[in-house]
Chains A and B, each alone.
Chain A
Amino acid sequence: MDRDLALTESTYYILLSLYRPQHGYGIMQQTEALSGGRVRLAAGTLYGALNTMCEKGWIFQLPVESGSRKKEYQLTEKGLLVLKKEIERLRELVKNGDLIMGVENND
């Protein structure tokens, strides 16, 4: 399961947004809000990423409710695991940064 690979920022924020059910535009808005406008997902990029993640079994498409045409997605168990592992990896990076660089790094 791609244990050694780091997720891209886009992948990370898409997975994070899908902790709760969300449609495409919602993922874009949430990512922009969470990152304070720094990370912006474009629709074509997001569409490709969602398809790839569905194929990998990290997310799944929720049954479409009548009246709404917007497709909603959510994390699978596997996706949740990938996300948790990534958060663990990021923690390690920050911890080691603090360890070597000391507190002045946190100014």
Chain B
Amino acid sequence: MTEKRTIRKWFWVWDFEKEERWLNEMAQSGWVLIAVGWCRYTFEKCEPGEYIVRLEMRGGDDSYIEFMKETGAIYIGRMIQWLYFCKKAEDGAFDIFSDRESKISHLDRIGKMLEIIGAANLLIGIVNAWNGSFIGTVNLLLGTLLMYGLGRIHGKKEELERDRQLYE
């Protein structure tokens, strides 16, 4: 049986690039992701550098996963809205987004989610704090943190948008 190992690790949503980098470092060192869970990553032994791993946020859409499989990608699994794919490195470069506009709309999807959950927490937090409830403080802290994340996503987006004036 192939050797397996599970690692518990936490990444903030706005650090999704860092998460992807880590998963690829694991693949480089001979461990490819085969399953994802809540802060849980399961790996299987593979040849070092055999796979390239990619992740993205996208709503539940089975026809998309089918489409990815048609293009030779292997579907690893999902964690809520996040999809994880890999592809054999020998099949050539593997990316999910190849142009600026689709990278921007991906960031928009993440931003929207942070905005909704963040704003809801701030709102509930204010109401609860008004009523003197301790939970209100937790909501306010969480809401503030998510708004910070939203700022990080906006920063990434602005970097991409800067080129728009010059390039199609």
| Residue positions of A touching B, CB distance < 8 A | 6-10, 23-25, 28, 40-49, 69-71
A43 and B73 within 8 A (CB):
yes
Q: CA–CA, A19 to B68, complex, Å? A: 23
> Are B101 and A44 within 8 A (Cβ)?
no
Name the one of B70, B97, B168 contacting A6, with C-beta atoms under 8 angstroms: B168
Q: How far is the CB of A104 from chain B (nearest CB, A)?
A: 25
Contact digits for B121-135, partner A, Cβ 8 Å, 1 yes 0 no: 000000000000000
Chain A residue at smallest Cβ distance from B94? A42
A25 in complex: contacting residue of B58, B70, B99, B168, CB < 8 Å = B70
Q: State whether the Cβ of B161 lies closer than 8 Å to any Cβ in chain A.
A: no
Mask: chain B, 54-83; 1 = CB below 8 Å from A; 0 = not: 001010000010111011110000000000
In the assembled complex, B89 has its CB within 8 A of some CB on chain A: no
Contact B70 A70 (CB under 8 A): yes
- 7 CB contacts below 8 A, A to B, read A6-B168, A10-B98, A24-B67, A40-B98, A42-B98, A43-B96, A47-B64
B95-120 at interface with A (beta carbon < 8 Å): 95-99, 101-102, 105-106
Residues of B within 8 A of A70 (CB): 70
A42 touches B96 (CB 8 A): yes
For chain B, which range describes its interface: under 10, 10 to 19, 20 to 34, or 35 or more residues? 20 to 34
Determine if B166 is an interface residue (Cβ-Cβ < 8 Å).
no
Interface of A is mostly: helix
- Would you call B39 an interface residue if the criterion is a C-beta within 8 Å of the partner chain's C-beta atoms? no
**B1 adjacent to chain A (CB < 8 Å):** no
Query: A16 → chain B, closest Cβ, in Å?
Result: 16
The CA-CA distance from A43 to B96 in the complex, in Å, is: 6
The distance from the CB of B105 to the nearest CB of chain A, in whole angstroms, is: 7
Contact: B70 with A23, CB < 8 Å? yes
Q: Is B93 among interface residues, defined by CB-CB distance under 8 A? A: yes
Q: Are A10 and B64 in contact (CB under 8 A)?
A: no
A41 to B71, CA, bound (A): 11
Residues of B within 8 Å of A10, CB to CB, are: 98-99
A47 CA to B66 CA in the complex, in Å?
11
Q: Verify A44–B56 contact, CB threshold 8 A.
A: yes
* A43 and B67 form a contact (CB under 8 A): yes
Q: Is the CB of A44 within 8 A of B97?
A: yes
Say whether A8 contacts B101, CB under 8 Å. yes
Distance (whole angstroms) from the CB of A12 to the closest CB of chain B: 10
Q: Is the CB of B93 within 8 A of A40?
A: yes
Q: Sort A-B residue pairs by CB-CB distance and give the 9 closest, nearest first.
A: A42-B98, A44-B96, A45-B102, A42-B95, A43-B71, A45-B98, A25-B71, A45-B97, A10-B99
